[in-house]
Amino acid sequence: MTSLTAIRTLPRRASGAVGVAVPLAIAAGFLIPLVVTSPFQLQIYTLAVLNAAAVAPLVLSLGYTGLLNLSHGTFYGLGAYTTAILVTDHGWPFEAAALAAAVVAGLGGGLLSLASARVRGDYFVLVSLGLTIAMAQLLANLPDLTRGREGFFGIPQLDLFGLSFSEPVTGFYLCLALLAVLYLFLHRVISGFLGRTMLVVRYDDVAARSMGIRPLAVRATAMVVGSALVGVAGSFLVATVQFISPADFGFDASFMLSLYVIIGGMASLPGAVAVAVVFTLLNEQFRGISDYSVGLVGLAVLVAVFIRGKVLRDLFHSWRAHQEGRATDA
């Protein structure tokens, strides 16, 4: 294999390696509590798993239907606040509250998907951004319901089928189980007919309609399913950290989640999960670089664009042609 061929096939080979490594890493994650004894370190791994569980559903709308959705963090927050309100103020069990969170977040995603019937591209981004800003203001200015800007405190200790989230090891296993279930479900969806249908809609609406596919219905399905699943992830976040605030689910959260998917490969479920885990661990383990996290993510985006945009391949090809030309002249 020549150097040029190796560079050309590098993204494909890397994607294949990540596709195999990520499911194995999720399975191996169940061994982490056996080697990590510090509750603080285990909490960091739990947050990384939760971030991955929040990012994974975004692959449907952003990666497979091409909707640049900047409200994914908002739906994450809808699920979290729905759960917090129901279990704290109304005494609901966690299982019922998580189901309600999925419904509320899913409805929010469905309403946003209706905008895709009228606007596309940059205009849809503006609509989703407007929704994110509006929801952040509502969460911050409804103190009787959401506790306002100070955050939602007083959340009781929660359990799932008798397993308590307050125990660090048990909480980690529950969150990792959520990630595993979401990963398997999403993998089945994107590997099947629905996933291929979403890709057709993403690349060519006209071709989709000619095959009897309704683009709006496909986009709505992706948005509703993705939003409902991230709503469940929000429930697990509440049960794990027992405190949330409007700042956790603003524009920054949605922006970072979208960047994780873009860096991971847009339509790459394992790539998005891997990037979310890696950046969360780096940000938590090395607090000194937390102020530069957005810049580091931006740098990673540039690297991803250079590789997938074949910029590196073209540069190498030009350099090699130049070298061959010099050798011929000599």
Q: Structural domains in the chain?
A: 3-329 (1.10.3470)
pLDDT value of residue 315 = 52
Mind listing the pLDDT tens digit for each residue in 26-80? 888 888 888 888 888 899 999 999 999 999 999 998 889 888 888 899 999 999 9
Residue 52 to residue 34: CA distance in whole angstroms = 21
Record the tokens describing residue 215, joined without a space.
């683009």
Residue 19 to residue 22: CA distance in whole angstroms = 6
Q: Is the pLDDT of residue 18 over 70?
A: no
Contact 30, 239 (CB under 8 A): no
For the chain, the C-alpha Rg in angstroms (whole number) is 21
Contact 88, 152 (CB under 8 A): yes
Contact 103, 110 (CB under 8 A): no
Residue 53 to residue 185: CA distance in whole angstroms = 12
Mean of pLDDT values over 274-295: 71
Residue 48 to residue 280: CA distance in whole angstroms = 5
Residue 190 to residue 94: CA distance in whole angstroms = 29
Mind listing the pLDDT tens digit for each residue in 164-191? 888 999 999 999 999 999 999 999 999 9
